[in-house]
Chain A
């Protein structure tokens, strides 16, 4: 029962990946990322547990708040501060990146069938979802010019790693996941500061302009 719901959630998360790839407006990109964060936060609760584990609930709550509210909120603030709304000229434009992402998702589903998985994970979409999210993150990181989109790409990449982490939720302490979350938060802070600096220095958020600093 809960396996079906879990798959539905992962499927939705994969759909959000594609939405993120296809959206040119930064607010909708951030909204997709935050919604994906909330979905990911619910997932630990849906995994089958023999006993009630308060740590699982804690992590779920922390993820939902962190990925769904705090980080997107910070990104929105950065966006407003930098006064950008739109990704103007991406390196990989939207239709190709959408097709790449869809191809990657299909390939991930096909690939996951070939992997040696535990029988309890074989039926779920956890692994394909993880691979697809990481791929989406990479496409965004490579294909977008604005720093905020790249941060979103980084977050989606991290979401993929989180999905992989869910496979180990029984065997490893959730500290690992919390550590990752912490990393990301710190990363976002750092990037937020950098974004601000870039904006002040160059009057633009286009990372292409950073190439003048290569010397």
Chain B
């Protein structure tokens, strides 16, 4: 009974808090640009509106066009449920759950790409091609980051491996994971969520043809993914385990907010990279994680 309650509570946290993040990012961007900007809760309004709207389906699309976003959304929420929440621990933990998490993200990516290809639009094909291609390098970086956490703690399970040590390794890992966060969530400098030129988009162009509840599922899933990466980044870098429970919870929330504001600031100050430069940046993220791994290795050997 307790388990069910814990799962429901956790699910509620992820479901309800995730759409806050894009709102904060937009507010930060507006603030830097000296505008008032949309309300922080804008995504909630959008989701509620989309959920009630009808669906326009391309004549070419199969039922997979609607199933794809549903599967992706379940996969992202499943990944979120595996992620421990600071002092709250996790609902379910087993050895190797971190690999399941990575592959659930891959499942979500497959389904989004599948749904994009359904329409036969060249734009969406382009977006899907970019998404799956850049994921190759991002995946290498994530696995390296996970390996470095694993080396640090000698564990392959998320609950125990997210107890990092401070030092040079943490800085490198933070930089690497932050870059991966930007890439995986299609933020500047990899992709510009606010651009109006479809030729330069990745994620947004993949969902051009979606509407109504499936689009709501996609947008909500994207916000869950952003929150997931922020939580992962904070827990991989800040030693929350050493703090008392309330302090750790506070630190987690503050950290996630800081990451979100950071994303907003990056988006305000940087321009989107040319696509041919993206692999270079992702390689840099991979190398940062790799050096974090080597530092962790050396630190443990002493």
Contacts and interface: CB of A to CB of B under 8 A. Distances in A.
* A and B directly contacting (CB within 8 A): yes
A11 B287 contact: no
A81 interface: no
B33 interface: no
Interface stretch (B70-78, B206-214, B241-249, B278-286): B278-286
Interface string A139-181: 0000000000000000000000000000000000000000000
Interface in A80-119: 94-95, 98-99, 102, 106, 109
Contacts of A94: 280
A18 B168 contact: no
B287 to A, nearest CB: 5
Interface string B204-244: 00000000000000000000000000000000000000000
Given A8-B168, A11-B168, A106 B283 contact: no
Given A22-B280, A106-B294, A109-B294, A98 B287 contact: yes
Contact of B287 (A8, A24, A102, A109): A102
Nearest to A15: B291
Chain B's interface size range is 10 to 19
Nearest to B294: A106
A13 to B, nearest CB: 13
A95 B279 contact: yes
Interface residues of A, number: 12
Interface in B246-302: 277, 279-280, 283-284, 287, 290-291, 294
B168 A102 contact: no
Nearest to A102: B287
A95 B291 CA distance: 16
A99 B287 CA distance: 8
Contacts of A98: 280, 283-284, 287
A99 B283 contact: yes
Contacts of A95: 279-280, 283
A106 B283 CA distance: 16
B148 to A, nearest CB: 14
A138 to B, nearest CB: 19
Contacts of A22: 280, 283-284
Nearest to A123: B302
Contacts of A106: 290, 294
Interface in A11-39: 11, 18, 22, 24
Interface centre among A11, A18, A95 (most CB of B within 10 A): A95
B52 to A, nearest CB: 47
Contact of A102 (B277, B279, B280, B290): B290
Contacts of B168: 8, 11
Nearest to B290: A102
A35 B279 CA distance: 25
A47 to B, nearest CB: 20
A99 B294 CA distance: 15
A46 B6 CA distance: 53
A98 to B, nearest CB: 6
B188 to A, nearest CB: 19
Contacts of A109: 294
18 contacts: A8-B168, A11-B168, A18-B284, A22-B280, A22-B283, A22-B284, A24-B277, A95-B279, A95-B283, A98-B280, A98-B283, A98-B287, A99-B283, A99-B287, A102-B287, A102-B290, A102-B291, A106-B290
> Nearest 9 CB-CB pairs, A to B?
A102-B287, A94-B280, A95-B283, A95-B280, A95-B279, A98-B283, A22-B280, A22-B284, A11-B168
Given A98-B287, A106-B294, 10 more contacts: A22-B280, A22-B283, A22-B284, A24-B277, A98-B283, A99-B283, A99-B287, A102-B287, A102-B290, A109-B294
Interface of B: 168, 277, 279-280, 283-284, 287, 290-291, 294
